[in-house]
Structure 1
Amino acid sequence: MLERTHLTIIREVDRQGSLTAAANVLCLTQSALSHTVKKMEQQLGTAVWDREGRTLRLTQAGQYLLALANRVLPQMEHAEERMKQYAEGQRGTLRIGMECHPCYQWLLKVVSPYLARWPDVDVDVKQKFQFGGIGALFGYDIDILVTPDPLRKPGLRFEPVFDYEQVLVVGRGHRLAQLPFVPPEELADEVLITYPVEIDRLDIYNQFLMPVNVMPKRHKIIETTDIMLQMVASGRGVAALPRWLVEEYAGKVAISPVRLGKRGIAKQIFLGVRETDAAIDYLKAFVELARQSDWNTTQEPLGQ
């Protein structure tokens, strides 16, 4: 019979790379763990690892069980933590995953008042889920996903909380800075600076340039917002970012926002949650507070 202990061992051996290291993490002796592994394989009726000297390589059955362990164990651990919180009268930690490079500054405006209103809830922001947040939600690694591009899946709910405009960012002395809007062909001679994101997921490409078969002169990737905007201010290229973010930096860096096309590019920030968690009080409160963010009332309306 397959037991939770079996899945825990398989996951830990894979994480640590050896029985010895896994035994240390699991607080077992190596001989005890080896005996447990042998008994597990006998119970399952199949080998989980092929042994090549001291090296362990998962069999096909072992690979299946590892995938199962990576799906099931986080959910069980999450449920146990939730039960512990209920038993102790606590609410625990709200884990937020970021699938949006520039959204961090917006999130800070929400987290600060939230912590003040919910003193018994901690907040942990995980930025490693760049465009992998759906799996993190399903895997119970996070409780809320911040994304401008929701991927609708059964079992998940996405709430729009913030409307914004995607704009072109140029240096204040740039030739495009005084235009009311920028047509796509004007970017054919520009160096376009973006975050390290696939082109088909960048709005500047899929909503503005590619529909009219225009490409920038060069595409340059920069990971951090501050360096990106310093490059733009020094005339090394242009970028596409949310208007609210550009206006936040405009007082510190010599940059200007310009509308992308006559009608502009309208976007939204969504918060994704598991449907089974949507009624949790402190989670609902975070979503509602995000809707009330000051930036929601300060955005310039798009042209009609």
Structure 2
Amino acid sequence: MKHSAITLEALRTLDAIDRRGSFAKAAEELNKATSAVSYSVQKLEEQLGVTLYQRQGRRSVLTASGRLLLDEGRKILGATGYLADQVKELATGWEPRLRLGLESTSEPEPIFKALATLLEEQPQLELDIQECVLSGGWEALEMDRIDLLVGAPAPVPLQKGFRAVVIPPANMLLVAAANHPLGRSAKDPKSIAQELPSHRRIVTRDTARHNVTRKAGLISGKQVLYVQTMEQKIQALLAGLGVGHVPRKMVQAHLDSGALAQVTSKQPTTEDQECYIAWKISNKGKALKRLSQLLSETLR
């Protein structure tokens, strides 16, 4: 590999000269002789074959090439500083970054409350959150796309090295828009069960990419509208495009306003299905351990 003339020491020298306004003051900051700073710049110019400074009266001013090197060099200095911090954090057992997969039916308020506590304790921790549906969350955990899965539905995949802790399931309701045929008037469960197959289902698509996808909630009928997120599902229901199961807390305001109506049905739901917080047993990070503890306490 060809040796580069641009070293971290050279970039720090250019940065100090620019911030302090002179070679002499930069030398003072770097604890070097002024002649050593001048020699460092001269040597860099010779190796690169460019002029980095030009004289303007009694001052040395960066050329266009010098300004480009300084601006881009500062990005490198920032990145190396960040990397050093990350290595130090990792050496203490705290991961620099934690990736979360939230099942679409998970209630966000207690989850973000736990995250707020974690970030107060570890403000440098970087969080990456994504929404998962059904098998998609388990697959993301298996494929190392996430570190912690929250609200994962049963069953727990076997022989995958997962640790799973039971949490209360979401209270799922079958709802439709107030102007939907199933939402306009009260009907007995038997009548609704007979009518359901003729109405469009709003389904949040399983986010699994490779494993066999699953369906939950309404399991009959041929008309289906697939959406990507729970928010999209709620908006589709409000628009009267079909019926579907949603967590009560996510639509309570719409139920109170009368925009959505609960549909009584004996159709299968996920209301009583167990849910889990899950992670790989091999993951020993302190951030994951602390967050799983906070979530267990908050969600219970």
TM tier relative to shorter chain: 0.5 to 0.7
**2:104 matched residue in structure 1:** 101
* Contact persistence 1:166–1:267 (CA under 8 A): no
Is 1:124 aligned to residue 128 of structure 2?
A: yes
Corresponding residue pairs, total: 209
* Contact persistence 1:191–1:236 (CA under 8 A): yes
Matches of 1:94 and 1:251, distance apart in 2: 37
SS in 1 for 2:276: strand
Any unmatched runs of 5+ in structure 1?
A: 1-26, 30-80, 210-214, 297-304
Is 1:186 aligned to residue 195 of structure 2?
A: yes
Matches of 2:140 and 2:279, distance apart in 1: 11
Any unmatched runs of 5+ in structure 2?
A: 4-84
1:65-214 equivalences under 5 Å are 84-87=88-91, 90-98=94-102, 100-103=103-106, 105=108, 107-127=111-131, 131-146=135-150, 147-149=152-154, 150-177=156-183, 178=186, 184-197=193-206, 201-205=214-218, 209=219
Matches of 1:191 and 1:129, distance apart in 2: 20
Is 1:238 aligned to residue 205 of structure 2?
A: no
Please tell me the root mean square deviation across aligned C-alpha atoms, in Å: 3.9
Shift of 1:272: 1.4
Label 1:244 to 1:274 Cα distance change in 2 as closer, same or farther (>3 A): same
Q: Cα deviation per residue 1:35-58 (whole Å; 9 max; x = unaligned)?
A: xxxxxxxxxxxxxxxxxxxxxxxx
Partner residue of 2:228 out of 223, 229, 240 = 223
Matches of 1:175 and 1:289, distance apart in 2: 43
Q: Cα deviation per residue 1:183-233 (whole Å; 9 max; x = unaligned)?
A: 53331221111122389612124xxx3xxxxx2251111224334323322
Shift of 1:92: 1.9
CA radius of gyration, larger in: 2
The residue identity in structure 1 corresponding to 2:298 is: S
- Compute the TM-score of the two structures, normalised by the length of structure 2: 0.54
Is 1:286 aligned to residue 286 of structure 2?
A: no
Q: Cα deviation per residue 1:143-175 (whole Å; 9 max; x = unaligned)?
A: 212322432334211112232232212113445
SS in 2 for 1:193: strand
**2:282 matched residue in structure 1:** 276
- Compute the TM-score of the two structures, normalised by the length of structure 1: 0.54
